[in-house]
Structure 1
Amino acid sequence: MIKLMSSKVACFLCKDEERKDNYELYEYAVYIILSSVFHIATIIVLGLCFNLLVESLVLYFSYIAIRKFAGGYHAKTPARCYLCSLLISIIILSAIKLFCCTNIYILTLLIVIEILCVILISRIAPLDSDNNPLNSKEKKYYRKVSRVISTALLCISIITIRLNYIKVGVSIMLGIFMSAGVLLARYVQNVINRY
């Protein structure tokens, strides 16, 4: 559906003779914009359904901030990507809704896991994909940025928990967990593909 809409918008934008050479570029740009809007709209709807709008947005943007620079596993089709993202978001929002508590031992355990995830991200990021190979200069830059973002989010999550905004802090943590999870999945996939 998004592909069809992207094609129609690109056709409209390329009506002029001088723009016809840019059709594929316009189609891709519109596709990326529409996909992003669709994902954000889904996150907003899920947040409203779970009565966790702020937490769902914090989770999504924490995850995307790291993923943009760290990379990670990619589903084979956009539909699979969307369905996996939807399922994971539902599971995580359910966990926030049902299990978010003020137990100091559980929060301490989550912080320890979060620190381990940040170390993992720092060690193996970035991982490029077949569609987006990175040169050595880009890898060095993306590694620095992913380390800074994941470390900053770690600090922000701890601060928000200390300020008693526990659900927001846990949402940031879970965004880091998701980023580390897709990064680790891509790393394992790369190892398997080598053999």
Structure 2
Amino acid sequence: MIDKVCTRLSNKIGRELQVSENEKAVIHYGLFAIIHTSISIGAIVLAGSLLGVLIPALILSVTTVILRKYSGGAHASSPESCAIIGVIISVGGAWLLSKMHWNLIVVIISVLVIFILGFYKVYQLAPVDSMAKPIRKQEKKEALKKKSIFTLGVYLVGTIGLLSIYLTKQKDIVLVWVMCICIGIFWQILTLTPLGHLIVEKIDLFLIHTILRRKGECTDEKD
């Protein structure tokens, strides 16, 4: 659906501006990125606000998205499925984390485990490309790996900063934010692995069958 809308818009803009097919493809890519990102963020903001976990959901989402930009990982078969999975992980994960009672020792152990696992798996596997967008140049692969490791380093500094704030302010919500960073990293690291690809594939198939079934029911009702 999103791709079809972008195709119509890019074709219309292309005709009015009289651009080449390559330039039209660039317009299509830009429109797709803007629309898909806007829908994803909007859905997370809406669902997060309704469940009272807006900030934790955004922290989890941003953590995953930025690391994913450089490390790659499993892809859903459609933008719609990708957006839905993002909302489920970000908002659902934030809601579950906010309902749990965290203590500092458990959080510190979680941080150590997640970051050790994260650095190891990123060094071992990243970047993970896709058949649609293979990464052929070794120089680019090495650059993306370094950026992935650097991103994890930034997350680690931010996490230490949040833990320092908790020690001075004693606000339990800060521990929830730290765990959102950890779960965001864990989910993204998982998508680099064969198991993560399988999980995303199963969720994707479930969403596709659900959407198709509903579309079929709507068509039957119209007939």
Task: Using structure 2 for the length normalisation, give the TM-score.
Answer: 0.75
Deviations along 1:49-107, one digit per CA (max 9) or x if unpaired, are: 22222222121111111100001111222233223222222331222221152x12321
* 2:85 equivalent to 1:84: yes
Change (3 A) 1:72 1:61: same
Aligned position for 1:146: 148
Q: Distance in 2 between matches of 1:12 and 1:71?
A: 32
1:144-181 deviations in Å (ceiling 9; x for gaps): 00001012102211320231122222222221111111
Corresponding residue of 1:163? 165
2:15 is matched with 15
Aligned to 1:38: 39
The number of residues matched between the two structures is 188
In the TM superposition, what whole-angstrom CA distance separates every residue of 1:11-51 from its partner, at most 9, and x where no partner exists? 33113363153333322321121001111111111221222
CA distance in 2, matches of 1:179, 1:97: 20
Equivalent position SS for 2:129: coil
**Which one-letter code corresponds to 1:175 in the other structure?**
G
> Which shows bigger deviation, 41-50 or 17-26?
17-26
Q: Is the 8 A contact 2:67 2:151 kept in 1?
A: yes
Letter in 2 for 1:25: V
Greater CA radius of gyration, 1 or 2?
Answer: 2
TM-score, normalised by the number of residues in structure 1: 0.85
Structure 1: state its 5+ residue gaps. 190-195
On the 8 A contact 1:43/1:56 being kept in 2, the answer is yes
Measure the CA separation in 2 of the matches of 1:5 and 1:81: 17
* Partner residue, 2:219: none
Q: Which amino acid aligns with 2:47?
A: L
Where in structure 2 are there 5+ consecutive unaligned residues?
167-173, 199-223
Distance 1:100 1:153 in 2: 23
For the aligned residue pairs, the C-alpha RMSD in angstroms reads 2.1
Counterparts of 2:118 and 2:36, CA distance in 1: 28
**2:188 pairs with 179, 185, 188, which one?**
179
- Runs of 4+ more than 4 Å apart: 186-189
Q: Measure the CA separation in 2 of the matches of 1:162 and 1:17.
A: 54
Distance in 2 (CA, whole Å) between partners of 1:187 and 1:44 is 25
Q: Distance in 2 between matches of 1:185 and 1:163?
A: 37
